[in-house]
Amino acid sequence: MTALFDSISKPSSSYFIIAFALYCVAFLLFVLAIAGKVWSGRDPEQHQKRWGAVAFAVAVAGFVFHLLFFFTRWHLAGHIPTSNMYEFMTFLGMMIVFAFLIVFAIYRKHIIGAFALPVAIIILAYAAVFPQEIQPLIPALQSYWLKIHVTTAATGEAFFAVGFAGGLMHLLRTVNFKDDSKTARREKRWLEFTIFFIILIVAFIGSVFTWNATGYKAVFTEEITVPGLKGAADEVRTVEAQYVLPPIFKPHDGKIVEMKPWLGIEEPLFEAPSWLKGASAGRKLNTVVWSLVSGLVLYGLLRLIVRRPLAAFISPMLKGMDPEDLDEIAYRSIAIGYPIFTLGALIFAMIWAAEAWGRFWGWDPKEVWALITWLFYAAYLHFRLSRGWQGKRSSWLAVIGFLVVMFTLIGVNLVIAGLHSYAGV
């Protein structure tokens, strides 16, 4: 948690830390409300209702402090704080909590908090690994469309996140872990992969915080290409790439400015390939490798502790839930988020692209994956409404859809170069 507390001196950061802490407390209270229903011998329903109300109030308080962080940073920066990965991810986390509060107010199911809030917490923790300094807007972002496009796209994705939580809960509730048929084994395997994907992100965040706590730092110089506006020539800049994780891969043709030895290693092990382009491409490749290694280690440790698949370990906690309610929660969340995402990620994005780059569509990687996300959820709604896909098939689509969203937000920025690569800086 060093990265979070190092910035407490900044006026807005204390609000962020308070919001993050309150979300964590709210999550624990929701878990207590659910688990306490089993423990309480007198009136389990009353126990759950009481603790659930407290958990909801704490989550609302966290959201209020998150709003204070958002508007304070907006005032300090002079522009809406959604211009880089740190700002966008903190905003996305805030909107996930907002979506959760709306869905909870409709359905009053405490289990939603135990699964939706962790998604927001992970997103916020992930945001904290990026540089938190207020940065001036590059020319491509100096537009009022920054407010419109990014906020609506993130709001739609936030409801997809709650839909993911509902779909995952439904699968954990309905998959039969005692069945050894071919279909059941396939379901269990993919459900375990989904859990592993979440652990991968958590392990990466933990790795960054751990190395930050040791004070590790490595700095390289590299050349990046900044796209010009409306046909103008691209600009080549020499910039510094700062690593908070030990450099397994250094930037291609990058030069060492500063590097602390780690585990007796004084130089990067490899150089990023020349075809991997974009801002901080070497650092992004390094991040991917560290995420895979740390994720495999954490997953292996958890499996040793629980001595069974993690999905099978979590499943009994949802025994008292009605599967149809969980399926309905996932569907309604996605149904709310889809039109908002359509406006933000496609329509408003194309209008802004025409203003900034002189074309509505350019097959940029982020544009392509935004379109893939939109088409996927269009297929989800089509199969749900026209083909009657409910239950497991619908839940699998809800889970896979959000994995596509996360790859669009994280994987594209970490792996693929494009006009949106500045967002990863």
Q: What is the number of domains present in the chain?
A: 1
Rg (CA), the chain: 22
For residue 131, the model assigns a pLDDT of: 76
In a domain, 259, yes or no: no
In whole angstroms, what is the distance from residue 360 CA to residue 285 CA? 30
Tokens of 388: 């009657």
**8 A C-beta contact, residue 47 and residue 40:** yes
Task: Give just the sign of the alpha carbon dihedral 412, 416, 422, 425.
Answer: positive
Tokens of 123: 């997103």
Is 358 or 218 the better-scoring residue by pLDDT? 218
pLDDT digits (tens, 9 = 90+) for 83-132: 888 888 999 999 999 999 999 988 888 888 888 999 999 999 888 877 78
Q: What is the dihedral of CA 76, 26, 400, 171, to 10 degrees?
A: -170
In a domain, 241, yes or no: no
In a domain, 383, yes or no: yes
Reply yes or no on whether the pLDDT at 167 is more than 60.
Answer: yes
In a domain, 281, yes or no: no
For residue 42, the model assigns a pLDDT of: 53
In a domain, 144, yes or no: yes
Task: Name the residue range of residue 309's domain.
Answer: 2-215+296-424
Lowest mean pLDDT among 122-131, 280-289, 338-347: 280-289
In a domain, 267, yes or no: no
Would the pTM of this model clear 0.85, i.e. be above it? no
In whole angstroms, what is the distance from residue 89 CA to residue 161 CA? 13
Mean of pLDDT over the chain: 83
Reply yes or no on whether the pLDDT at 69 is more than 90.
Answer: yes
Task: Centre a 10 Å sphere on the Cβ of residue 278 and count the other Cβ atoms it contains.
Answer: 22
Best CA proximity match to 153, nearest among 299, 421, 343: 343
**8 A C-beta contact, residue 90 and residue 124:** yes
**8 A C-beta contact, residue 12 and residue 76:** yes
In whole angstroms, what is the distance from residue 156 CA to residue 42 CA? 42
In a domain, 262, yes or no: no
In a domain, 366, yes or no: yes
**8 A C-beta contact, residue 137 and residue 356:** no
Reply yes or no on whether the pLDDT at 44 is more than 80.
Answer: no
